[in-house]
Amino acid sequence: MLSPADNNVRALPDTELTLIADYVLRNDLKSELAFNTARLALMDALGCAILALQYPACTALLGPILPNTVVPQGARVPGTSFILDPILAAFNIGTQIRWLDFNDTWLAAEWGHPSDNLGALLAVADYISQLRLTHGQPPLLVRDLLDAQIKAYEIQGVLALENGFNRLGYDHVILVKLASTAVATYLLGGTRQQIIDALTQAWLDGAALRTYRHAPNTGSRKSWAAGDATSRAVRLAWLTLQGEQGYPSVLTAKHWGFYDVALKGKPLKIDRALGTFVMENILFKISFPAEFHAQTAVECAIRLHPSIKDKLNLIDKIVIKTHESAMRIINKSGPLHNPADRDHCLQYMVAVALLHGDLKADYYENNFAQDTRIDSLREKMQVVENKQFSLDYLDPEKRSIANSMQVFFTDGSCSEEMIIEYPLGHRRRREEGLPYLYQKFTHNLHTHFSPAKTDELLKLFESQSTLEKLPVNELLNKLVTV
């Protein structure tokens, strides 16, 4: 009798694969809140992409592999004149969106940034739209893009709810690749079976290590890892559509499947039906380009800034109480070697905010970081876990990202203890944050476009109905430079 490892009878596709494929093929998503939020998320991600063009370390990675290559009916890259194949365009767009750690966020057992998926979705949607026009067919509309965006967010976010890849040392971009693979295959015209087959290819890739996000190896790969994941997703979708076979028990195969190899024999937990939950509850980074677990800590520091700015030399210690995820990700001492290191250091972000009453992307650059006062304040910080903050972080009814801060002085006095549970971009503060989200978009566009172009794009994104009716290729027409 054959052992399970020797049994060469092909099983039916793993149920997790069919669950995702059937969801992607749905055409009945109607949530007004989800589509409205998707519009805001698309706007915000494009603004982040445009702002990233101000940073040479980012722009050095953009463009064609071979200089001056232009692809007929290729996908465009926002803010540039590049016309690339959709696989490379996905890398470009995904890298732009993610570069400054300023795009939207999802926090659960696994963390991540669902707008990373727009690298794949924008590239594929623009390419498909232009291809359709050459054949006399209607292009995709932005409404179609928003539908695809909601689905990618939902796949990534629901898988993240109870599956902590980070605890095994794996990076969250595995979920970006999976979501982008499924939806890109759908946009490219894939059948249910092809979506399943493409998903098996994504799982076969395994997961990247989180090494580049953590001390002592934090580096700029974390700023292009999502772009890489979306590019790989489009590549896998394309290979599948050329006839590449799938591997139906990629998750559950004994000894060689993902569960046994990567998850130590444990299956994925998917306890929530796929719908529109993630988009409706997405977290916007409105105030600061900073790792999201630090957002409320930075807000605390900015609120304390006026009362302590003239007493910096009298500070004895700074006590920061935070949640368990922040303790693992951004609690960091010792030298910081590059901007990517600094924007994942809780103490650095708080020190800068206490000193300047603000936190901007430029504040992570090497020249700014030479200010000796920053490290002096870092050395006075005590970071401890507040158990209630950790519980509220995982509570599905709260999903708080709480931090508190109190400054103690050498004369025995102290500041008030500042406690902030929900950052400005949280669902509970959505209405309060909306004007600032538009301001962020406007500011980001102003760094690259003329006032007239900025005003045109802002008005477009303020109107749900106008934007949804716009062909995707025309949206990209408005975003490129010549």
Amino acid sitting at position 58: C
Average pLDDT over residues 451-478: 98
Sign of CA dihedral 303, 307, 310, 315: negative
Distances (CA, A) of 232 to 119, 184, 236, 475: 11, 11, 6, 24
Distances (CA, A) of 80 to 87, 100, 137, 282: 17, 18, 27, 28
Where helices occur in 163-191 by DSSP H, the ranges are: 173-187
Confidence of residue 4 (pLDDT cuts 50, 70, 90): low
pLDDT tens profile 315-336: 999 999 999 999 998 999 999 9
**416: Cα separation from own chain's centroid:** 34
- Sketch out the chain's domains with CATH numbers: 15-280 (1.10.4100.10), 292-423 (3.30.1330.120)
For 171, which DSSP code? Answer: -
Above 50 in pLDDT, residue 99? yes
Average pLDDT over residues 193-199: 98
Tokens of 418: 């500042």
For 384, which DSSP code? Answer: E
3-state secondary structure (DSSP) of residue 130: helix
| 363-368, long-range: CB < 8 A, 24+ apart | 364/289, 364/339, 364/340, 365/339, 366/338, 366/339
How far apart CA 382 and CA 232 sit, in angstroms, is: 41
Confidence of residue 89 (pLDDT cuts 50, 70, 90): very high
Distances (CA, A) of 76 to 83, 87, 291, 319, 422: 5, 11, 28, 47, 36
Average pLDDT over residues 55-80: 96
The pLDDT value recorded for residue 308 is 94
What does pTM read for this prediction?
Answer: 0.91
| Residues 202, 109, 392: CA angle, nearest 5 degrees | 160
Residue 385's DSSP bridge partners are 322
Per-chain mean pLDDT for the chain: 95
How far apart CA 182 and CA 153 sit, in angstroms, is: 11
How far apart CA 41 and CA 46 sit, in angstroms, is: 9
Q: What percentage of the chain reaches a pLDDT higher than 90?
A: 93
Confidence of residue 288 (pLDDT cuts 50, 70, 90): confident
The pLDDT value recorded for residue 5 is 54
How far apart CA 187 and CA 140 sit, in angstroms, is: 9
**In contact, 322 and 139? CB cutoff 8 Å:** no
pLDDT tens profile 422-461: 999 898 998 999 999 999 999 999 999 999 999 999 999 9
The pLDDT value recorded for residue 2 is 47
pLDDT tens profile 221-254: 999 999 999 999 999 999 999 999 999 999 999 9
Confidence of residue 1 (pLDDT cuts 50, 70, 90): very low
The pLDDT value recorded for residue 465 is 98
**In contact, 301 and 350? CB cutoff 8 Å:** yes
Residue 407's DSSP bridge partners are 318
Q: What share of the chain is helix, strand, coil (3-state, %, to 5)?
A: 55, 10, 35
Confidence of residue 376 (pLDDT cuts 50, 70, 90): very high
Residues with Cβ within 8 Å of 417's Cβ and at least 6 positions away in sequence, in order, are 404, 405, 406
Strands (E) in 126-235, as ranges, are none
Tell me how long the chain is.
Answer: 482
Confidence of residue 6 (pLDDT cuts 50, 70, 90): low
